[in-house]
Amino acid sequence: MSWNEPGGGKKDPWSGRNDKNDPPDLDEVIRSLQDKLGGIFGGGSKGGLGSGPSMKGVGLLAAGAVILWGLSGFYTVDEGTRGVVTRFGAYVNTTQPGLNWHIPAPVEQVAVINVEQQRFIEVGYRSGGGQGMGSVPKEAMMLTKDENIVDVRLAVQYQVKDAKDYAFNVLDPASTLKQVTESVQRGVIGRSDMDFVLTEGRSDIVLAIKSEIQAVMDAYKTGILITSVNLQDAQPPEQVQGSFEDAIKAREDKQRLINEAEAYSNDVVPKARGAASRIVQESEGYKEKVIARANGDVSRFSQLLAEYKKAPAVTKQRMYIEAMELVLGRSNNVLVDVKGGNNIMYLPLEKLANKSIEEAAPAPVISHEPVSLPSQPMKEIKPDVRASSRERDVRGR
């Protein structure tokens, strides 16, 4: 059936009214939107937007806008950070970590500053690029007290201790800190000798630089806290590096020889002092021994003299017997009792004498102690002349 035949339903190819897959008419969409806006503002839907917006609709719209604007003032401050609130550019307060609110922009604004982050600056070198430390001669070359030049490379670590001062008092805190560090570093190095800077004075120089930098930054009220100062390297310029290393080796050899000499001295001197002390003590001991022996002899002689005066004969006989006992006890003489024995002689006499000495008891110890004598004088004991003559006869045989 063609479109112009009866019952075709006016399905001409240009109208497309009954085709549900086609997009809606643009006039109808605009008309529908105008009706909705008119309902909100209280106007009619016919004849455009109506007579005009109502005060109630404007109030609701303004209230919604104000609510949304107020909600935009909420913000969160993370742990380790502080929020610096400014009102038309002027400082208001500093907020702590957590959920906070401020008057939304453009009245107030918040700058969040990390107060726990460790920041650092490099003076005299640059460590970026992964190619090691690159020297910056303009910053690294410094003059010492003894008019030598050293290459000093320093790293300073810092963090924010006052967010307000850090944000408002200095335009560029990092640049200010670097300039202050370089100035303080040159002053400290200029007050020190080259050997002190390169050897034992590193720790003292670091402490002096840190304290002076902190004092200057506090005077500027930058809100910066210096946490550490690290002396990365301190050495002579590259042009004299070889000569300086030779000088260091010579100094180390000198110190090594001094240490060896001191070690040898510490080993020999105590031994010599000990030997001298031992000799002195032995001399003192020998002296005391000789004096004690002399005193003993004198005391013994004095006691014998006293006893001799009491009984001269008895004392003389006793001294004679003791002397003979001492002399004969050390000799190899053999005494034979001819009268009480037989005439048979055993030879050799030396073995007989040695046997008799072994069988005999140990010789009594001669005491030098004084012996108490009887009060009555004893008769003088005379030696037996016949016995002595018999002994001489036996020896002659």
**Single-letter residue type at 338:** V
- What pLDDT is attached to residue 373? 40
pLDDT tens track for 344-357: 655 566 666 666 55
CA distance 366 to 215: 95
pLDDT tens track for 355-393: 655 655 454 444 444 444 444 444 444 444 444 444 444
For residue 290 the two structure tokens come to 């000789």
Query: Where is pLDDT greater, at 131 or 343?
Result: 343
Whether the CB-CB separation of 307 and 319 falls below 8 Å is answered with no
- What pLDDT is attached to residue 387? 42
- What pLDDT is attached to residue 287? 94
| Inter-helix orientation angle 55-71/26-41, to 10° | 90
**Single-letter residue type at 320:** Y
Per-residue pLDDT for 24 more than 50? yes
CA distance 338 to 347: 16
* Cis geometry, peptide bond prior to residue 53 (ω within 30 degrees of 0): no
Least confident of 70-84, 100-114, 150-164, 333-347: 333-347
Please name the residue that has the structure tokens 């006992």: 325
Question: Kindly report the CA angle at 388 between 385 and 391, in degrees rounded to 5?
Answer: 150
Q: What is the pTM of this model?
A: 0.50
- What pLDDT is attached to residue 89? 84
pLDDT tens track for 174-192: 999 999 999 999 999 999 9
Longest dimension (CA), the chain: 205
Whether the CB-CB separation of 185 and 234 falls below 8 Å is answered with no
Question: Kindly report the CA angle at 110 between 107 and 116, in degrees rounded to 5?
Answer: 165
Of 68, 67, 41, nearest to 56 by C-alpha is 41
**Single-letter residue type at 74:** F
Quick one: what percent of the chain has pLDDT higher than 90?
A: 28
pLDDT tens track for 255-290: 999 999 999 999 999 999 999 999 999 999 999 999
Beta bridge partners of 135: 125
Whether the CB-CB separation of 87 and 108 falls below 8 Å is answered with yes
Q: Is 76 helix (H, G, I), strand (E, B) or coil?
A: strand
Per-residue pLDDT for 242 more than 70? yes
For residue 38 the two structure tokens come to 């008119």
For residue 89 the two structure tokens come to 């550019």
What is the DSSP secondary-structure string of 290-307?
Answer: HHHHHHHHHHHHHHHHHH
* Cis geometry, peptide bond prior to residue 104 (ω within 30 degrees of 0): no
- Complete domains list, the chain, with CATH: 74-114 (no CATH), 119-237 (3.30.479.30), 244-328 (no CATH)
